[in-house]
Amino acid sequence: MTTGFVTNPNHYQHFTTGHPESPERLEVVLALLRESGLRDRLHEIEPREATDEELSWVHPPQFLEELRRICADGPGMIDIDTYVQPESYNIALTAAGSTIAATEAVVKGDVDSAFCAVRPPGHHAGPELAMGFCLLNNIAIAAEVARKRHGVERVAIIDIDVHHGNGTQDAFYDDGGVLYVSTHLFPFYPGTGPPRETGSGDGAGANVNIALPAGCGDAEYCAAFDQLVEPVVQRFRPELILVSCGFDAHFADPIANMALSNAGYGELAARSLRLAQELCDGKIVFLLEGGYDLIAVPWGVRTVIEVLLGEEPTPDPLGTLAFREPPDISGLLAEMRRLHGLS
């Protein structure tokens, strides 16, 4: 299988001292891919900037102009979590454009799958709001390009970041052409994503929030995929699957308190890939979102890429938690199956 890979080489100019969303997150990923030899086996996709037209399919021009101005006036803070530098707008353009380039390569059949190692992340950025370390919504923009330029009618977005992707949800909440399925810690930042948020209008039922309690690990995430993610994606029958892949649900992550291992991430990646192979000729793109432990993130990316290449993932140095008290999510999953007509 041919797997594409793209990164935005200008990312290192987007930084501020002491912030967890740092250039080092991506540098350790690139270093491990080089050292392992994986980078040489991937099809390199040329990074590029997103165009104003592509951005406008998610973000209105007035928001983009204001974001451009705020960045130009930087360094500064958009909110308590989200920083900008004068270069940040162009870096965000390259993160979004590179995600588009990878998605187009998959849609056109140039590669079977792709991984986008870009930053800043995007799934908290709403159509008119930058927040949560995110400036532009990379995955939503890529989904819209696939639909508007390449005739893809149904896109499924699977979000396995520990945080709810409120921006992605907002972009497609009343749009029946995009299925948004999120597994996230709840209650937690940004405070959105309870199960009752299921979409509205044409998008009613196409928004699936699997709001998990703290401490969920490999078994709980696999149960959520078994009972909810896989059946709702199969029912939707997408022509393309995009995955917001945040490694902050890993047990080593300093920001959250979930218990996934990288082996667990590999299993979720394999299940997502099987869905793509079953439903849409294997067309799938993974996009780096969060994840702030500098061992868990690069090994998580390596694991997902090995899965996309059809290989058994290499065991990572962190392993799994020796002991944990698993939460009982059977009632939650049963109620969600009823809510989404799967019972």
**pLDDT (tens digit, 9 = 90+) per residue, 111-151?**
999 999 999 999 999 999 999 999 999 999 999 999 999 99
C-beta of residue 179 within 8 angstroms of C-beta of residue 206: yes
Average pLDDT over residues 4-9: 97
Give the CA angle between residues 113, 118, 119 to the nearest 5°.
Answer: 150
Share of the chain above pLDDT 90, in %: 98
Q: What is the per-residue pLDDT for 29? A: 98
pLDDT in tens, 240-294: 999 999 999 999 999 999 999 999 999 999 999 999 999 999 999 999 999 999 9
DSSP state of 75: S
97/187 Cα distance (integer angstroms): 32
Q: What is the per-residue pLDDT for 207? A: 98
Whether residue 322 is predicted with pLDDT greater than 90 in this model: the reply is: no
DSSP state of 10: T
Average pLDDT over residues 195-223: 98
Q: Considering the entire predicted model, what is its pTM? A: 0.98
Q: How far apart are the first and last CA of the chain?
A: 36
C-alpha closest to that of 115 among 57, 170, 45, 48: 45
Q: What is the per-residue pLDDT for 112? A: 98
Going by pLDDT thresholds of 50, 70 and 90, the confidence category of residue 25 is very high
**Which segments within the chain are labelled E, that is strand?**
3-7, 43-44, 76-77, 83-84, 113-117, 155-159, 178-185, 207-212, 240-245, 284-288
112/309 Cα distance (integer angstroms): 9
C-beta of residue 124 within 8 angstroms of C-beta of residue 165: yes
pLDDT in tens, 77-124: 999 999 999 999 999 999 999 999 999 999 999 999 999 999 999 999
Going by pLDDT thresholds of 50, 70 and 90, the confidence category of residue 72 is very high
C-alpha closest to that of 169 among 206, 210, 131, 119: 206
321/326 Cα distance (integer angstroms): 11
Backbone angles phi, psi at 83, to 5 degrees: -105, 160
C-beta of residue 279 within 8 angstroms of C-beta of residue 238: yes
11/95 Cα distance (integer angstroms): 8
Going by pLDDT thresholds of 50, 70 and 90, the confidence category of residue 324 is confident
Q: What is the per-residue pLDDT for 131? A: 98
Are β-strands 76-77 and 83-84 bridged in parallel, bridged antiparallel, or unpaired?
antiparallel
Number of structural domains the chain divides into: 1
Q: What is the per-residue pLDDT for 54? A: 98
Q: How many C-beta neighbours within 10 Å does residue 310 have?
A: 12
Share of the chain above pLDDT 70, in %: 100
Distances (CA, A) of 214 to 217, 225, 297: 9, 17, 20
Whether residue 195 is predicted with pLDDT greater than 80 in this model: the reply is: yes
Going by pLDDT thresholds of 50, 70 and 90, the confidence category of residue 343 is confident
User: Residue 267 is part of which domain span?
Assistant: 3-339
Query: Left, alpha or beta for 237 (phi > 0: left; psi -120 to 50: alpha)?
Result: left
Among 59, 124, 164, 340, the one annotated catalytic: 124
Is 19 marked active-site?
Answer: no
Average pLDDT over residues 302-311: 98
Q: What is the per-residue pLDDT for 1? A: 78
Could you tell me the CATH number of the domain that includes residue 90?
3.40.800.20
